[in-house]
Structure 1
């Protein structure tokens, strides 16, 4: 065989099997390295470009003010853009993200309530009938004050606005009769609050509560000093009552003596001032154990009775006048809860200074204050300037907005069904369940790290946390036409009788509450409708509720980054869970019963840590509110929930990242997802206040103003400073970090 006959393959050098194996391994290794390098290079440059991500980035950028140092004032950094571009509407005293969401919700409600359907459940027809009666301004104007005149004799009329009151009504007048009828028929509690609700010590049963008067014409005790910043409010309050009395007398064709009416108005305001000064301050009413005074009904007659013009007030008679309307007999031996023994003790001396005419003028006035808004414009105008001075708002809401809200309050399940069908995706439920599970588990795991709580209390706290029930979106019951029709079977509205519709609804729902006295508590029933932009914790039920209305951006969206979900609705979830363990919620056990389940040692340490938060927030002052300081005691439970909520949500998010990896960056915003978590948290609280409302919020609201909800929570959370590389000298870094949960 010659060389030229040798095959080409035989002329190649041969590799041994070992060499071939090494070559294969090295080749595969190099290929893998190249692939990983390509993937790394691709991922390092990749951003999230979904519609949800681009919308989220745009919103975050527009609302923030990047020129502000986040370590100096994170609220201004997060909300500066929002505050600059959003003007408070003339109809509002404050305006924030919640208000924008509510405004959008009202548009949806308007659409579903005005939509004509050939055939629909009776419940929806009733909701639309109530709405149509409310927006029928022409007919309301034609009726003027007549609907009010027709019903006033049912509650012994208003002495200021009727002649010969002493002759016509005086001899038959009895305070118990007036107060009872205002309660059961007109949903108005004056002097005495009478409520049937869950028994704090037995969450399966209902019981009668007697309490102090809780609402007044002016908004705080300080207003009734009528000095300084409150002088104008007192002046327009009296003018409101005077103008209404004048209008009623004029429309009734009665003569008008200005001096006499002004004198009677002054007596009414003096009486209300004495009543509010007899009430216990909010700080005194924060301990549910202290409030729970269980006694027999007959004991009220023996210890807390008082006289009006020699007529002795009989608590048993008063109770019977209310409960007879739902066919329930209440004996002298009935166990009741007296929430306000100190108030009732003082009321005796207060009322001794006034006549039955004074009392009648006052109790009917408290009813008229809220009812003028259901009358013609002339009647509403008597109230508008008063509201303007109180809140700073300069005009009424549009009619359709008022009417949509009215129907949602009165037929919340029917409206909730319409809202859910129009605007809510059930896909949200599963993701919410996962968020709640994550945040609940973080709370439970954190218990092990609490050095101030002993093991016995930790174990009970874990049992309570695991027992918290969750409600997401809406009750399945409202998707059933038969259920809705049955719920509203006793409600009947007329499209031509708006004022009467309101009265009818008041009576209906009050009676429904009273009828619960002999019934077991239905723990499966939702306590709130679906079309609500809010979230709730119920201590007596040990449950957290997230209506469909709040499950939307910026709080929540299935498509937006998880950092935003945890910083938004996640913080809200944590907030509501912590409410079960704040200075009020901690008094209730896993079954919602008022019970001592803490050891004395853990209680003392909890109170010491809570005092740190109360003192910290009390040091905040607000220029917009004339430099007033916050009341850290009144806002304590909400501040505890805010501080605990942000911590739980952030820790839960970090665990999510550990399980699933880092999220892709958002387009156009050079912030890490840790930073985006805090940014979205702050932006859900963006809000502007009028100066009048800024003062009111400090004096009355159990929540801190939005600015301080953000600053206080983040100053107490070192992970925030770490995320933004804040120096120890920064304003957002506290020298004395307060922490409970």
Structure 2
């Protein structure tokens, strides 16, 4: 996927957590123990917060789902904390006290536990060999078995990687197959095209196909600045811990190159390897400096530059780089020809302006070393253990982790990422209640209605812009659970998705290369295809949610529709405080600092009046300042980047406000909610506690520092504190007096 959608959060982390689910007998015993504990502990909490008379008659729910929900909430809380002082600690203090970050993890949170539970289910269904499977599912199981086939992977050693490097012209530092003749024949255009179309590595120049921002019904070629080997540009030139990460990254390059030289029976030549890799790091450092910082790339209108190939060539000559040759070579992999009047959209204008001098500075050998290194870095995890061991120091510096993920989790995650529709079909059949779709669709309708109604409260927006906002909100399409076709046995679409894949149980490395090639070419092939408005942008077995600005679409995969976010068996206060706030979050993404640039049809268009646009930014500045003043001790006291996180903060604030109003409206219209056993909490208090507990989690310091640099979401506790400090209804619910941390004198509100 080229352009990123707006996720709920934490979708990128490759680290996984551990959580053993109780068996049937264990669960039954647990219910008895929990019920007894709730009676005792509930009385303790009842002394602090009484239930108002209006709710005293509410029915107490004692079903297994309610008892487990009550136990979860109580165990996660720290009732000794004053909710008006630090509501995150009040709601999550028990969770933080009882959960230690596993050695394999850089972060451990409620979301990670939910992902663990999904992975346990996927392990079972992927290892089930008794069923007669359709082709797509059989291929997913074959890919999983090849990943689990450690003996073969160990026996093959580095040979699969060496064979692959031959295809891309070798890795000069490790293979000594570079001389003057090689350099003369070497063409950057063809090398970049090969990396893009065959290995899905968009290095030096990011070329991809996606919906045209100005016309979402068609696709267009985008040219942008690339990703880098390390997660953030700051790691390349900042001091402190960044220097340690940089040193570990260089050592990783040197170690892998040295190992491959040994496998090729070449002399170690430590000095030459060190010099070559130092040059590669220097080149990548210059590329990092050439890229625009994240905070300068939020305005999609400013990023968007449409031009023909002649203008592209004249503006960005790059010392003779042939753009037509590069683009046509990429497209030739899917038998697509450039049109005479083909236009491209350039996002990375400042980067391309800086790239020319960089290409002029470094030799073809150094650039080839860099291109090959980026492929090697991507494939280390598919090799034998001795190659994985070279990453230990780098991963420790970057994530704070010391231990590799257990093999089956790594394999489950890999197969789910690469065959999400096939794996999603297995998950849905095994674990997704069919009634959930209709229940969540009702919640979407209730939260959306509140968003539209509360537009009338906004004095900063004029009526003309409000009407456009109403139209856009009512036009948002929702996708819930999974696409129907993945369960339809007679529908061949699922099998056709993977028709170009032909896996072998003994060739895990090559299976991975097939996935890279098919993934790259699936995207490129869209160039001449009309955009499918019903296309799912993510698989079903995913614990996350998304908003797509080009489709004006919100997506809630089956994986996220589980407790504590959603359950048919828990009170509605928890559902509104869980998945309800997620629904509001995704709806609000359509109106954040990025989504606001797209209209109801997903086309980039300025539908705002000057008055409303100016006041939108004035309202936003309040949040930029608010979150930018949160100092995170775990990240060496660095402040949250209020500008980088603005879109997610706007969505968090809007989401909890809309979901709470929707819950109150539901009750006012006759909805009868239940009390949880042993908890003397009002329905409204339960709403806010469950909202906060969705975000319970801990970070390692190293990952906290990385998150400050790279994550567009605020740290977990500030997502809770920031949004609730801005909501007067929260302070009213917990009787917080003005001047306490949770009832500040000044509040921010955009939506």
TM-score (norm 1): 0.93
Which whole-Å CA distance do the structure 2 matches of 1:340 and 1:151 have between them? 30
Q: How does 1:579-590 map to 2 (within 5 A)?
A: 579-590=589-600
- Which residue of the partner structure matches residue 636 of structure 2? 626
- Kindly provide the CA deviation profile for residues 309-356 of structure 1, in whole angstroms up to 9, marking residues without a partner as x: xxx211110001101111111145311000011110011112221111
- Which residue of the partner structure matches residue 283 of structure 2? 271
Aligned counterpart in structure 2 of residue 363 of structure 1, from 354, 364, 371: 371
Aligned counterpart in structure 1 of residue 269 of structure 2, from 257, 268, 277: 257
SS in 1 for 2:333: helix
Q: How does 1:229-628 map to 2 (within 5 A)?
A: 229-307=241-319, 312-331=320-339, 333-481=341-489, 482-628=492-638
Which whole-Å CA distance do the structure 1 matches of 2:141 and 2:672 have between them? 49
Q: Is 2:172 the partner of 1:162? A: no
SS in 2 for 1:387: helix
Contact 2:549 / 2:595 at 8 angstroms: preserved in 1? yes
- Which residue of the partner structure matches residue 78 of structure 1? 91
SS in 2 for 1:194: strand
For residue 401 of structure 1, report the CA deviation from its aligned partner. Answer: 0.7
Contact 1:316 / 1:332 at 8 angstroms: preserved in 2? no
Q: Which has the larger radius of gyration?
A: 1
Q: Is 2:196 the partner of 1:179? A: no
Greater RCO (CA < 8 Å, at least 6 residues apart):
2
- Kindly provide the CA deviation profile for residues 178-205 of structure 1, in whole angstroms up to 9, marking residues without a partner as x: 1100000000011100000000000100
Which whole-Å CA distance do the structure 2 matches of 1:160 and 1:180 have between them? 22
Contact 2:58 / 2:673 at 8 angstroms: preserved in 1? no
Contact 1:298 / 1:332 at 8 angstroms: preserved in 2? no
- Which residue of the partner structure matches residue 679 of structure 2? 669
Which whole-Å CA distance do the structure 2 matches of 1:325 and 1:42 have between them? 65
Q: Is 2:153 the partner of 1:140? A: yes
Aligned counterpart in structure 2 of residue 716 of structure 1, from 723, 726, 729: 726
For residue 46 of structure 1, report the CA deviation from its aligned partner. Answer: 4.9
Task: Decide which moves more: 633-642 or 354-363.
Answer: 354-363
For residue 220 of structure 1, report the CA deviation from its aligned partner. Answer: 2.0
Contact 2:84 / 2:742 at 8 angstroms: preserved in 1? yes
SS in 1 for 2:210: strand
Which whole-Å CA distance do the structure 2 matches of 1:499 and 1:68 have between them? 52
Which whole-Å CA distance do the structure 2 matches of 1:626 and 1:203 have between them? 43
Aligned counterpart in structure 2 of residue 224 of structure 1, from 211, 214, 236: 236
Gaps of 5+ in 1: 1-39
Gaps of 5+ in 2: 1-52
- Kindly provide the CA deviation profile for residues 618-648 of structure 1, in whole angstroms up to 9, marking residues without a partner as x: 0110111110001000000000000000000
SS in 1 for 2:96: helix
For residue 480 of structure 1, report the CA deviation from its aligned partner. Answer: 2.2
Q: Is 2:714 the partner of 1:704? A: yes
Q: Cα–Cα, structure 1 residues 509 and 41, in superposed 2: closer, same or farther, change >3 Å? A: closer
Which whole-Å CA distance do the structure 2 matches of 1:711 and 1:50 have between them? 32
Q: Cα–Cα, structure 1 residues 654 and 45, in superposed 2: closer, same or farther, change >3 Å? A: closer
For residue 398 of structure 1, report the CA deviation from its aligned partner. Answer: 0.8
Which whole-Å CA distance do the structure 2 matches of 1:572 and 1:250 have between them? 52
Which whole-Å CA distance do the structure 1 matches of 2:267 and 2:517 have between them? 33
Aligned counterpart in structure 1 of residue 129 of structure 2, from 110, 113, 116: 116
- Which residue of the partner structure matches residue 31 of structure 1? none
Which whole-Å CA distance do the structure 1 matches of 2:162 and 2:57 have between them? 74
- Which residue of the partner structure matches residue 9 of structure 2? none
Task: Decide which moves more: 228-237 or 41-50.
Answer: 41-50
For residue 119 of structure 1, report the CA deviation from its aligned partner. Answer: 2.0
Contact 2:471 / 2:600 at 8 angstroms: preserved in 1? yes
- Which residue of the partner structure matches residue 204 of structure 2? 191
Task: Decide which moves more: 193-202 or 252-261.
Answer: 252-261
Contact 2:58 / 2:674 at 8 angstroms: preserved in 1? no
Q: Is 2:690 the partner of 1:680? A: yes
SS in 2 for 1:326: coil
Contact 1:296 / 1:332 at 8 angstroms: preserved in 2? no
Which whole-Å CA distance do the structure 2 matches of 1:90 and 1:350 have between them? 40
For residue 551 of structure 1, report the CA deviation from its aligned partner. Answer: 0.4
Contact 2:170 / 2:177 at 8 angstroms: preserved in 1? no
Question: For this pair of structures, how many residues does the alignment match?
Answer: 697
Aligned counterpart in structure 2 of residue 66 of structure 1, from 62, 79, 100: 79
Which whole-Å CA distance do the structure 1 matches of 2:333 and 2:233 have between them? 35
For residue 665 of structure 1, report the CA deviation from its aligned partner. Answer: 2.1
Task: Decide which moves more: 223-232 or 364-373.
Answer: 223-232
- Kindly provide the CA deviation profile for residues 652-689 of structure 1, in whole angstroms up to 9, marking residues without a partner as x: 00011111255232111111110010000000000100
Contact 2:58 / 2:675 at 8 angstroms: preserved in 1? no
- Which residue of the partner structure matches residue 7 of structure 1? none
Contact 1:297 / 1:331 at 8 angstroms: preserved in 2? no
State the superposition RMSD in angstroms.
1.4
- Which residue of the partner structure matches residue 3 of structure 1? none
Contact 2:479 / 2:555 at 8 angstroms: preserved in 1? yes
- Kindly provide the CA deviation profile for residues 196-245 of structure 1, in whole angstroms up to 9, marking residues without a partner as x: 000000010000000001x2222323211252222211111111000000
Which whole-Å CA distance do the structure 2 matches of 1:226 and 1:575 have between them? 34
For residue 171 of structure 1, report the CA deviation from its aligned partner. Answer: 2.6
SS in 1 for 2:550: coil
For residue 542 of structure 1, report the CA deviation from its aligned partner. Answer: 0.3
For residue 138 of structure 1, report the CA deviation from its aligned partner. Answer: 0.2
SS in 1 for 2:143: helix
Q: Cα–Cα, structure 1 residues 194 and 46, in superposed 2: closer, same or farther, change >3 Å? A: closer
For residue 491 of structure 1, report the CA deviation from its aligned partner. Answer: 1.0
For residue 407 of structure 1, report the CA deviation from its aligned partner. Answer: 0.8
For residue 261 of structure 1, report the CA deviation from its aligned partner. Answer: 0.9
Contact 1:387 / 1:393 at 8 angstroms: preserved in 2? yes
For residue 367 of structure 1, report the CA deviation from its aligned partner. Answer: 1.2
- Kindly provide the CA deviation profile for residues 345-385 of structure 1, in whole angstroms up to 9, marking residues without a partner as x: 01111222111111111111111111011000111111222
Q: How does 1:6-155 map to 2 (within 5 A)?
A: 44=57, 46-155=59-168
Q: Is 2:702 the partner of 1:689? A: no
SS in 2 for 1:185: helix
SS in 2 for 1:165: coil
- Kindly provide the CA deviation profile for residues 1-21 of structure 1, in whole angstroms up to 9, marking residues without a partner as x: xxxxxxxxxxxxxxxxxxxxx
Which whole-Å CA distance do the structure 1 matches of 2:55 and 2:634 have between them? 50
Which whole-Å CA distance do the structure 2 matches of 1:238 and 1:139 have between them? 29
SS in 1 for 2:731: helix
- Kindly provide the CA deviation profile for residues 675-730 of structure 1, in whole angstroms up to 9, marking residues without a partner as x: 01000000000010000011111111000000100000000001100000001121
For residue 584 of structure 1, report the CA deviation from its aligned partner. Answer: 0.4
Which whole-Å CA distance do the structure 2 matches of 1:628 and 1:138 have between them? 45
Which whole-Å CA distance do the structure 1 matches of 2:485 and 2:614 have between them? 44
TM-score (norm 2): 0.91
For residue 428 of structure 1, report the CA deviation from its aligned partner. Answer: 0.6
Which whole-Å CA distance do the structure 2 matches of 1:636 and 1:42 have between them? 38
